[in-house]
Amino acid sequence: MRTTIVVFTKVPKAGDTKTRLTANRGGILTPAEAMAFYEGCLLDVINVCLAAGSGEVRVCYNQAGDREYLEKLLARTADRSQIKEVYADQGGNFDQCMQYAADYILKNGAPDRLADSVVIVGGDLPSLQPVILQDTVAKLERLAGSEPGRNAARSIETAPPGLGAALVEGACQEGGFSVVGYTCTTPFDFNRVFYNTDGITALDMLVTKAAQQNIPFGVVEAAPDVDIPVDLASMIPVIKALELAARCDKNIKVPVNTLAVLDEIGLESSAVPPNR
């Protein structure tokens, strides 16, 4: 089974990137610092995707993003030549943009599809590790090859024989998910996953859609994203722990770019002692 890993991202831009971390939105960073922080995260995520060796790596960016600036940033990754393609989404709401990111790869199973399955990851996951992506692809392959996977698959004449349906996710906080993967025969779409009027969380919507279509469903280790100050405070000790653990475990990918930005800004997490 051919898999493509898509890093789904906005092109970093001051005043438009991670604004909930900035002081004018209740955070502590300047717009420039928030932009630099996201750039560090994005570089680390892409490097993890390359290190995983679990499929071709592509980057999907926002339609209004500055492609030239993105290319300058990608030149700082571990190996720009290993990024197979960079493409823009087609605008719209988050559901529509993510749907395009996947459809561009899977092409409804058509012969010119770029892969048989797609795994989409966000750019703001500094603790993401290669093993999570490797586990995602392994579970996709196992579930897609199962009898329930074959029974749930959409009928697509051009799909590989025996390729069944499968949906795998890695959760993040507040009912969201940071990693999602599925095959081209999976009867799934992102409609109402992120934008619905019923108050259903994104992860609950994934689970609901999988259950309704009897899609074999898998979970992998969570990888928290960073959107608000409490996420940032929680993340700092985690990536520092990864940095130390990597001395004894060569399989750990240290988020060196994120750590460098935090060091430059001078950020540390702390726990306020209780009042006595």
Yes or no: say if 12 and 61 are a contact pair by the CB < 8 Å rule. Answer: no
What DSSP designation does 194 have?
Answer: S
**Residues 109-150: tens digit of each pLDDT:** 999 999 999 999 999 999 999 999 999 999 999 999 999 999
CA–CA gap between residue 121 and residue 87 (Å, rounded): 15
**Model pLDDT, residue 103:** 98
pTM, two decimals, is 0.95
CB atoms within 10 A of CB 108: 12
What's residue 269's pLDDT?
A: 80
Query: For residue 160, what pLDDT is reported?
Result: 79
Q: Which helix (H) or strand (E) holds 92?
A: none
DSSP 8-state secondary structure symbol assigned to residue 270? -
Specify the pLDDT at position 262.
Answer: 96
The phi and psi torsions of 209 (rounded to 5 degrees) equal -65, -40
Distance of CA 142 to the CA centre of its chain: 21
Using CB atoms within 10 Å of the CB of residue 145, give its burial: 0 to 12 exposed, 13 to 18 middle, 19+ buried. Answer: middle
Taking each helix axis as running N to C, give the angle between helix 229-245 and helix 256-265, from 0 to 180 degrees, rounded to the nearest 10.
Answer: 120
At 229, list the tokens: 């100050």
**Are 88 and 100 in contact, with CB atoms under 8 Å apart?**
no
pLDDT at 197 (0 to 100): 78
Give the SS3 label for residue 206. Answer: helix
Residue-level pLDDT, tens digit, the chain, 276 residues:
999 999 999 999 999 999 999 999 989 999 999 999 999 999 999 999 999 999 999 999 999 999 999 999 999 999 999 999 999 999 999 999 999 999 999 999 999 999 999 999 999 999 999 999 999 999 999 999 999 999 999 988 777 778 999 999 999 998 999 999 999 999 999 999 998 878 899 999 999 999 999 999 999 999 999 999 999 999 999 999 999 999 999 999 999 999 999 999 998 887 777 776
Distance CA 172, CA 213 (A): 24
Going by DSSP bridges, is the β-strand pair 167-172/117-122 parallel, antiparallel, or unpaired? unpaired
Q: How far apart are CA 172 and CA 25, in angstroms?
A: 22
Q: How far is CA 156 from CA 105, 145, 191, 200, in A?
A: 16, 16, 21, 31
Domains of the chain, CATH where assigned: 3-265 (3.90.550.10)
Per-residue pLDDT, 147: 96
Give residue-wise pLDDT tens across range 207-223.
Answer: 999 999 999 999 999 99
Q: Check residue 198 and give its pLDDT.
A: 85
pLDDT of amino acid 276:
60
Contact 34, 15 (CB under 8 A): no
Tell me the C-alpha distance between 196 and 10, whole Å.
22
Q: What pLDDT was estimated at residue 267?
A: 86
